[in-house]
Structure 1
Amino acid sequence: MKANWSLLRDPQFARLFGARTASMGGSAFAPVALAFGVLHLPGGDSETLSWVLTAESVPMIAFLLFGGVIADRFPRQKVMMAGEFCSATAFASLGILLLGGNPPLWQLCVAAALSGIGIATMMPALTGVIPEVLKPHQLQSGNALLALGANTARIAGLVFAGAIVTLVGGAWALLGAAALFATSGTVVSGLRGLTDRRGAASGSTLSDLRDGWREFSSRQWIWVVVLQFSFLVLLFQACFGVLGPVLADTELGGPGAWSWILAGDAVGMVLGVLIAMRVRPRRPILVGVLLTTLATPPFLALGLGAPLWVVVPLAIVMGGAFDVFGVLWNTTMQRLIPAEALSRVAAYDAFGSLMFGPVGLLLAGHAVVWWGARPSMVAAALLMLVTVALALLSPEVRSLRAPDAEENVGDIVEAR
């Protein structure tokens, strides 16, 4: 399958591409800036960081399903704008609080919670708006190009974030993230000609959620992989949110080293996009699940005390694997899920995948105290392999074949 670079000449897609790229640039600033901004506060430690990150994750997960209903009821463009501006406000507040020197923990948690709500508002709307901008045969190339822009911005954001945190502190990096989120919201406001979804759903919020659940739960390949990711994300949150920054701070030299690891992951994502634009496996979900095994090596290496030059290449491989998975997953969902329910199904996907993330963040902070960062990282890495083995027990995960844009959805489902 050839990459469709001509999509970037389409004004609508180019605007969506620009907005997504700016938003991901803001997201890239956040983990480095927030992690080391909190760790370097007077009295800041792994447990403090766990509380702040949990305060962001819990409202994000709690609001996701409601965000999916909103995105299926109202213009998805405006829902995306609301989410981006909410994130901008949150990160501006966090930056200002850190500039103050020693803010109370509850204030940091409130600002972080606002960020979680912004993410939960934006994510389901983004999944749903892509098929409104692209034709069915353009979806895989379009998803790949969006990921390419997002990951390029992520690399740049991580590099600049590490430099800014090192030179002037995390507060200024958080203010930079706020500016990028605001830019994304402004660019999204220029999208034209999308579906006006006001009144698209005539029932109550509860009935909308029930309808979305039926679409979600009736497809084994979706709920099995989402269940896998619910535990995989728990382990990821522990490793990326707490254990990794702690090890980088104590053994690898601080935020600069952690930025290189995150940047390696982002470089891998760019390479993964280039692969995803050209390959089309007959069983995309099976290939995607198998690729998640490559999450284990970089975290295992960190836990075993490997030097930075070993960990970064492994992070590149992990990033590539997960971006191929992401393009295949999003394209399959966008082709097989009815458009009127897509944002709700995406919300259930995100809700299920992320619901145990706060548990991972909380456990990680305590695990550092109880067992140490290295043993905790090794255990988390090995448990990731267990999630893959369990997902592969599903017949639909192993057998679902790739839909063609020209095929009828019902024919594809019957042919599994």
Structure 2
Amino acid sequence: MTTPAAAFRRRARRPDWAGRNYTLLTAAATVTNLGTHGALIAAAFAVLQSGGDGGDVGLVAAARTLPLVLFLLIGGAVADRLPRHRVMVAANALNCLSQAAFAVLVLAGDPQLWQMMLLTALCGTGHAFFNPAAEGMLMSSVSGEQASRAFALFRMAVHGAAIGGAALGGALIAAIGPGWVLAVDAAAFAVAGALRAFLDVSHVRAREPGGGLLSDLRDGWKEFSSRPWLWAVVAQFSVVVAVVGAAESVYGPLVARDELGGAGPWGMALAAFGVGTLGGALLMTRWQPRRMLLAGTLCVFPLATPSAALAVPLPVAGLAAVMLLSGVAIEVFGVAWMTALHQEIPQDMLSRVSAYDWFGSVAMLPLATALAGPAESLLGRRESLWGCAALVIVVTAAVLYVPDVRNLTRRTKQVAAAKPSADAERAVGRLG
């Protein structure tokens, strides 16, 4: 006879797919996002507090982005060559030390611009090595038909922490100053690194001796370029991320200042986007579209609507509604994309393929943000925003012409049973 206590324990027990590695990865990502999103705001205010202007804030932001672009591919190759959890812990240690040094400089008073740029660049370098390793580790920590739900819940936790971290960071900056928020971020990296040190890699197959780093990069490129759906979507997002980033980081604040009443309305719109990402992740815990890439790609079209709303511009309530919709849409795509990578890419290639994915997606972002101002001067702000919206629609419609994007299908147990060799390949080192 089952006792009530035993029944409760069975109900409370975590699902089979939420193993130790998945739980540790989710907890660590939540901790780092709580710290990082407050620290991004704190870094900008630290620059302004030291006497810098908007141009200086942009230089510090660029110092974070440039190493991310430069070292992503190397980071992906390293993460597939070394144990991924060690790469993640080392990257967290670098982030912890750089943010701690940044905090000390700010708290001591009168930090120099070059010092802030250098420390921010070190932080960006850490992310370049961390991101491919983390994505490969996450995708290899779950298996079976629940992978999509696992990715959705992970993203929901991360986005919730990002929203909370930004709100908490803003409040702490006002109360105690940016230096202490940077110190909190350093502590968050230390805690997250400690959690990731406990990841279980005992069942990972030892890497066979092979070529050097360049050989690994070539193998990753072959894997990446051999799949039309993969490189086509990454090429699409190189444009989408660039124009959406330019619209939201450059034109959005300007429209808010000139036509919507200031920073408050723009903050409300960004908060609506964050709520939308949570809603989209929650939706994907229940919905598992059979043609996952088709569903995800169709949900990229709404990403054109924020640029269009800023071009009109819509009132604050309308803009917030549009941002909410785009937040839901990008999460549907994000979960579908992670599920496709998890299903189709061999485990020992995950980090290298993820690095090419990250690199392609962010490579044009610095150029787009740099050209946003000249484009406004040449064409006008509204025309530039309509151009951003049009580019999203055009490249998304174009990628639907790729047959594999339309037809890639989620595998069921029956299909998987008919293809044991593919299953065996993905099962190797599942806890890597």
What TM-score comes out, normalization by structure 1 length? 0.87
**Equivalent residue number for residue 223 of structure 1:** 231
Going from structure 1 to structure 2, the CA distance change for 1:371 and 1:284 (only over 3 Å counts) comes to same
**Equivalent residue number for residue 191 of structure 2:** 183
**Aligned-partner SS, 1:345:** helix
| Correspondence for 2:306 among 284, 298, 305 | 298
**What is the Cα deviation at residue 213 of structure 1?**
0.8
1:10-409 equivalent positions in 2, closer than 5 A: 10-38=19-47, 42-45=51-54, 47-99=55-107, 103-196=111-204, 199-200=207-208, 202-248=210-256, 256-367=264-375, 376-404=384-412, 407-408=415-416
Question: For 1:364 and 1:409, how far apart are their aligned partners in 2?
Answer: 51
Question: For 1:309 and 1:167, how far apart are their aligned partners in 2?
Answer: 29
**Unaligned regions of 5+ residues in structure 1, if any?**
none
Comparing 26-35 and 75-84, the one that deviates more: 26-35
**Aligned-partner SS, 1:402:** coil
Going from structure 1 to structure 2, the CA distance change for 1:291 and 1:332 (only over 3 Å counts) comes to same
Output one character per residue of 1:150-204: Cα deviation in whole Å (capped at 9) or x when no partner: 1111121122233334455544433333332222112111222455576445211
Question: For 2:315 and 2:39, how far apart are their aligned partners in 1?
Answer: 25
Output one character per residue of 1:32-63: Cα deviation in whole Å (capped at 9) or x when no partner: 33445546653512x33332222211210111
Question: For 1:336 and 1:197, how far apart are their aligned partners in 2?
Answer: 19
Question: For 2:216 and 2:60, how far apart are their aligned partners in 1?
Answer: 32
Matched AA of 1:86: L
Comparing 367-376 and 341-350, the one that deviates more: 367-376
Question: For 2:134 and 2:417, how far apart are their aligned partners in 1?
Answer: 22
Comparing 73-82 and 308-317, the one that deviates more: 308-317
Comparing 117-126 and 19-28, the one that deviates more: 19-28
Question: For 1:10 and 1:101, how far apart are their aligned partners in 2?
Answer: 45
**What is the Cα deviation at residue 296 of structure 1?**
1.9
Question: For 1:143 and 1:371, how far apart are their aligned partners in 2?
Answer: 41
1:72–1:200 Cα contact (<8 Å) kept:
no
Question: For 1:102 and 1:386, how far apart are their aligned partners in 2?
Answer: 48
Question: For 1:252 and 1:183, how far apart are their aligned partners in 2?
Answer: 40
Q: CA RMSD in A?
A: 3.1
**What is the Cα deviation at residue 102 of structure 1?**
5.5
Matched AA of 2:21: Q
**Unaligned regions of 5+ residues in structure 2, if any?**
1-12, 423-432
**Equivalent residue number for residue 426 of structure 2:** none
Output one character per residue of 1:58-81: Cα deviation in whole Å (capped at 9) or x when no partner: 210111111111111111111111
1:87–1:114 Cα contact (<8 Å) kept:
yes
**What is the Cα deviation at residue 15 of structure 1?**
1.5
Question: For 1:253 and 1:32, how far apart are their aligned partners in 2?
Answer: 21
1:226–1:349 Cα contact (<8 Å) kept:
yes
Matched AA of 2:363: M
1:67–1:124 Cα contact (<8 Å) kept:
yes
**Aligned-partner SS, 1:126:** helix
Output one character per residue of 1:245-275: Cα deviation in whole Å (capped at 9) or x when no partner: 4444566566554443332222111111111
Matched AA of 1:64: L
**What is the Cα deviation at residue 326 of structure 1?**
0.9
Question: For 1:373 and 1:96, how far apart are their aligned partners in 2?
Answer: 40
Matched AA of 1:223: W
Question: For 2:322 and 2:41, how far apart are their aligned partners in 1?
Answer: 19
Question: For 2:316 and 2:46, how far apart are their aligned partners in 1?
Answer: 22
Question: For 1:334 and 1:340, how far apart are their aligned partners in 2?
Answer: 11
Question: For 1:299 and 1:100, how far apart are their aligned partners in 2?
Answer: 41
Question: For 2:207 and 2:18, how far apart are their aligned partners in 1?
Answer: 32
Question: For 2:82 and 2:267, how far apart are their aligned partners in 1?
Answer: 38
